[in-house]
Amino acid sequence: MERATQAANFGAFMHQGQICMSVEKVLVQDSVYPEYLRRFTARAAKLRVGDTADEGNVIGPLINDRQAARVKAQIEDALARGAKAVLGGGVSGRFVEPTILTHVTPEMDVWRDETFGPVAVVVPFKTDAEAIALNNDTEYGLSAGIITADEGRALAMAERLETGMCHVNCSSVNDEPHVPFGGTKASGLGRHGGRWSVETFTETRWITLDRGGRPYPPVF
């Protein structure tokens, strides 16, 4: 539980959620959902909002006014459609409070669209198949994280997740210079990192030197 709440807290709120791999949805087994939500909320509530020139502040401003307005619109749309803000929800200028939403449904903008802000949606699931379906219910597919004591179960789930990357017992926010970084669906084409960068940023050509007099059919 400690690892799970910390991984989601880091993944959702690091750099105000302005990372392409940021945690957008946190899917939680229903048997531990109440405890998880309580502990995740308590952890996120400790993140102070303000000018990060003050080292005591963790959540700084979003990149511009347009992005702040976009995040605010997603939060307001969710709340108007029945979602609950168990933490945060406030927007002041470019500063958005770390926000945790529950009772989110697929009709809400925050479910369908990328947020790129400090907002996390927490949803319970009953079975692994349901969790996989919830994860894949999006046009995006960059990165995912699975927290579990059963690595075999995690690998079986990872094979069915429509993401270019999946990290077991770690946050979705991960990158190393030597690994194939990239996503599926609307989350990009190709891979970067290591030898994959060479393939992405170069064009393979075929040039021949015929020194044997390759024969052609006599009719030609």
Q: Tell me: the pLDDT tens digits for 137-150? A: 999 999 999 999 99
For residues 46 and 142, is the Cβ–Cβ distance under 8 A? no
Does the predicted TM-score (pTM) go above 0.85? Answer: yes
Query: Is 188 among the domain residues?
Result: no
Split into its structural domains, the chain has a count of 1
Query: Is 196 among the domain residues?
Result: no
Q: What CATH number did the domain enclosing 36 receive?
A: 3.40.309.10
Residue of 77, 107, 88 lying closest to 12 (CA atoms): 88
| Structural domain span for residue 63 | 2-177
Helices (H), the chain: 2-13, 33-44, 65-80, 109-112, 128-136, 151-158, 194-201
Query: Is 109 among the domain residues?
Result: yes
User: Residue 188 — pLDDT band, cuts 50, 70, 90?
Assistant: confident
Query: Is 201 among the domain residues?
Result: no
Query: Is 82 among the domain residues?
Result: yes
Query: Is 173 among the domain residues?
Result: yes
Query: Is 151 among the domain residues?
Result: yes
State the residue for tokens 């347009």: 66
Query: Is 116 among the domain residues?
Result: yes
At 201 the three-state DSSP class reads helix
What average pLDDT score do residues 62-79 get? 98
